[in-house]
């Protein structure tokens, strides 16, 4: 059975990118040729590597964790009693990964899993100088994180972004990193697949697949084309053993650029949207729509007065492409929109009534209406110690929920609170009602909780299922019954 490995262990490398800013150079058409003679076969990648190598750096992370008690210490405590003082021991976990400096003033992008929960982050340049780094933004959904180092005004060597949409299966690529602590290592291969979805690495599944050898330590390293431009950030491999099996995945450069742009401009990663809820076009559905093969996504719902609604899209339309790029499934639509600059118009190709047409849709950031109003509930009621917030398209995107979901969501539950100990609520639950009254927002929930008694009745939605729950006898009896 094959397993997906996020490359978190071992030394890695970081790539310096984007000398003049975040706007990629105009896409250049490159004539692709096979070798014609022996002289062509003897050509070398050395000039590309020489140009790229000065921009490669390493990322070191450290974090403190509680050391597990030895079996002998456990037996000693059990024999002599629990009152014997326990010494809290800490141990330091060190790991090394990769990243990409996207601005010459020290802005770096890497995999989120490389720096997640780290107490210290150090970036080492190719000349062995080291800098402390801070996290600007960490985005688990794309497995990308943006870091910053203080270069004291020094300009770092950089690479340009490639337009990852121009990558073709069969293109030669180089993976640059530091696998197994072997310092700067270069491997070559080809693009095995583009627009690879259904990988299961992140919520936003859309990757470049390559057979260039990628091993632990390459995580966050650079996948470059033969023009020496960053094509993607290496993130994961499929392997039985955790070592390269010739199937690696890289986050496309266009998504990397979008995350960096959002981090620097908004201070947070907010993905653009057009306000549609969709479903995939199956073979049966494609036949009924007059399509010769499955592909595209069918619009189910439109967000009222959202970008798609204002542009004239309708439920029942099939989105086939965005800006001329084919949309095969929902992940592809999410990627195409998320990598479009907010405020710009996207050409959305749709199928309606058996005919295709292009409609200009103004891509925007999802609204936060109502405001999330994060509130820690307090008082003499069963929800004491629960933190809640109002759902909105923007907040829903952060939580990975249905963008059209409304109501009050549980953001956190204190472990020692009644709701935490007895599992009356869990993170992600949507509170639909209290004592038979519908809950629309946090303010209304607080008012209803002030007037509750025993037994306490409430309705929640969990994992798409709605249930009515009752807490009685001061919490000694609790039960839920599924409604739908």
C-alpha 144 chain-centroid distance:
7
Structure token digits, residue 332: 């592809």
Q: How many beta carbons lie within 10 A of that of residue 315, not counting itself?
A: 12
Structure token digits, residue 135: 């996290």
Q: Is 440 a catalytic residue?
A: no
Structure token digits, residue 18: 């984007």
Structure token digits, residue 187: 């491997």
Q: Is 143 a catalytic residue?
A: yes
- At residue 366's C-alpha, the angle toward residues 363 and 369, to 5°, is 140
What region, left, alpha or beta, does residue 447 occupy, with left being phi > 0 and alpha being psi -120 to 50 degrees?
Answer: alpha
Is 376 in contact with 417 (CB distance < 8 Å)?
no
| Residue of 113, 139, 171, 239 with catalytic role | 113
Q: How far is Cα 166 from Cα 325, in angstroms, rounded to an integer?
A: 10
| Residue of 95, 139, 143, 164 with catalytic role | 143
Is 120 in contact with 109 (CB distance < 8 Å)?
no
What are the phi and psi torsion angles at 264 (to 5°)?
-80, -30
Q: Is 44 a catalytic residue?
A: no
Q: How far is Cα 181 from Cα 179, in angstroms, rounded to an integer?
A: 5
Is 220 in contact with 111 (CB distance < 8 Å)?
yes
**Helix, strand, coil fractions of the chain, as percent rounded to 5:** 20, 35, 45
| Residue of 164, 192, 219, 235 with catalytic role | 219
C-alpha 453 chain-centroid distance:
42
DSSP 194: E
Q: How far is Cα 367 from Cα 274, in angstroms, rounded to an integer?
A: 11
Q: Which residues are catalytic?
A: 113, 143, 219
């Amino acid at each position: 059975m094959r397993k997906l490995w996020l490359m978190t262990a071992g030394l890695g490398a970081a790539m310096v990118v984007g000398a003049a800013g975040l706007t990629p150079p105009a896409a250049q058409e490159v004539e692709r040729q096979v070798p014609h003679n022996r002289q062509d076969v003897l050509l070398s990648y050395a000039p590309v590597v020489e140009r790229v190598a000065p921009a490669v750096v390493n990322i070191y992370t450290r974090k403190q964790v509680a050391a597990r008690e030895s079996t002998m210490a456990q037996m000693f405590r059990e024999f002599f009693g629990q009152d014997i003082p326990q010494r809290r021991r800490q141990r330091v976990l060190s790991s090394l990964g990769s990243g990409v400096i996207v601005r010459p003033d020290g802005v770096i992008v890497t995999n989120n899993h490389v720096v997640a929960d780290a107490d210290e982050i150090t970036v080492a340049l190719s000349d062995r100088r080291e800098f402390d780094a801070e996290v600007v933004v960490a985005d688990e959904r794309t497995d990308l994180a943006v870091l910053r180092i203080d270069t004291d005004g020094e300009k770092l060597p950089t690479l340009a972004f490639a337009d990852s949409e121009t990558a073709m299966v069969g293109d030669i690529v180089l993976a640059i990193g530091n696998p197994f602590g072997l310092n700067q290592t270069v491997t070559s291969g080809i693009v095995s697949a583009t627009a690879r979805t259904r990988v299961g690495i992140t919520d936003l599944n859309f990757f470049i697949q390559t057979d260039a050898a990628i091993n632990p330590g390459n995580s966050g390293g650079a996948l470059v084309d033969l023009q020496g431009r960053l094509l993607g950030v290496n993130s994961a491999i499929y392997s039985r053993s955790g070592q390269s099996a010739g199937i690696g995945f890289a986050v496309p450069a266009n998504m990397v650029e979008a995350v960096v742009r959002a981090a620097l401009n908004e201070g947070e990663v907010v993905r653009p949207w057009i306000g549609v809820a969709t479903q995939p076009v199956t073979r049966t559905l494609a036949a009924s729509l007059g399509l010769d093969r499955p592909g595209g996504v069918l619009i189910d719902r439109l967000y009222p007065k959202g970008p798609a609604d204002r542009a004239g899209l309708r439920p029942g339309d099939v989105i086939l492409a965005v800006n001329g790029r084919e949309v095969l499934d929902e992940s592809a639509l999410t990627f195409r929109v998320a990598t479009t600059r907010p405020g710009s118009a996207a050409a959305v190709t749709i199928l309606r009534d058996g005919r295709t047409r292009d409609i200009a849709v103004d891509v925007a950031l999802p609204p936060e209406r109502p405001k999330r109003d994060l509130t820690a509930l307090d008082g003499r009621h069963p929800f004491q110690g629960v933190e809640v917030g109002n759902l909105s398209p923007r907040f829903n995107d952060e939580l990975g929920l249905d963008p059209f979901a409304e109501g009050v969501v549980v953001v956190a539950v204190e472990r020692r609170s009644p709701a935490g100990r007895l599992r009356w609520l869990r993170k992600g639950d949507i509170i639909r009602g209290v004592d038979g009254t519908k809950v629309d927002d946090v303010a209304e929930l607080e008012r209803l909780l002030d007037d509750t008694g025993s037994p306490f009745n409430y309705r929640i939605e969990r994992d798409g299922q709605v249930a009515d729950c009752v807490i009685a006898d001061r919490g000694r009896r609790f039960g839920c019954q599924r409604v739908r």
